[in-house]
Amino acid sequence: MIKKNNISVVVVVYNEEGRIENFLKSFLWADEIIVVDKSSTDRTIEIARNFTKNIICVPYSDASGSFKIGIDAARNLWVLTLTASDIIHPRLASKILLLINDPEFDYDVISLPFSIYVFGISDPKRSPWNITSKQWLWKKNVIITSDEVHNETSHASQKIFVMSPSSEENLYHLTHGNLEIFLERHTRYARLEALKFTDELLAFKKCRWMLWRSIRLVLFKQKTYLLGWNGLALGLAYILYFILIYLFVWERFRGPGDEKYTEIRKKLLGIHKV
């Protein structure tokens, strides 16, 4: 039997005991909340069990693919894929339910009004993160999944409904509360992105292009530096991610310095034995 609002929320988490409760409370209006836990070592699962029975435990991996597990398990027509960084305005939730319960609503995908905060800062005009940030609610049968970092889900439908932007009634993405979290996560993501390159020449060209694109976006398109102190920090953090990708790709094809150091040590220690 199909429930009235017919929405499954899928969230992928790892060690989110500090945010998971607020996330789950924000989405209790959904028919189904599916938590895909990547072998958390803190109280994430314990807390989640207070709000949902749909908890899927998978081995920890930096690789993508966990969203597919949750989507496949979803029992409803509409699916919303999220992280523990997300929280929704109650009035936006009500608007979503009105849309999908309208018998004349003939769309496969809903583009939600989305507000992203990085280090507690949000500026739709100047922040480089806002230029590509979107969030979709989609029918399960149109979702396309992949193993690509930050692009685990997509769609090919042309039947897209774009909800009106709002200054307040948004889906909020509250990410990178401090620099330590940013560096830890983006180091992991950048290392993973480096693994998709197999040809050294193409990898160099691609990474050089991505790095230049990030610099051009920050300096010339968004002009993030016009936000002053905050803008310079946001811009540097955004570019840093692509610097990390470049460095991990470079290391992958050129080898870590440890190999050279081992060679030098063996040579010098061999001389000492003579």
Mean of the per-residue pLDDT values of the chain: 91
Mean pLDDT confidence for 50-71: 87
Mean pLDDT confidence for 95-119: 94
| Confidence bin at 3 (pLDDT 50/70/90) | very low
Q: Are strands 7-13 and 86-88 parallel, antiparallel or unpaired?
A: unpaired
Q: Which residues contact 87 (CB under 8 A, 6 or more apart)?
A: 22, 23, 26, 171, 172, 174
| Confidence bin at 150 (pLDDT 50/70/90) | confident
Mean pLDDT confidence for 74-97: 96
Give strand ranges (E) for the chain: 7-13, 32-37, 55-57, 78-82, 86-88, 109-111, 114-118, 136-139, 143-145, 153-155, 160-162, 171-175
| Confidence bin at 2 (pLDDT 50/70/90) | very low
pLDDT at 116 over 70: yes
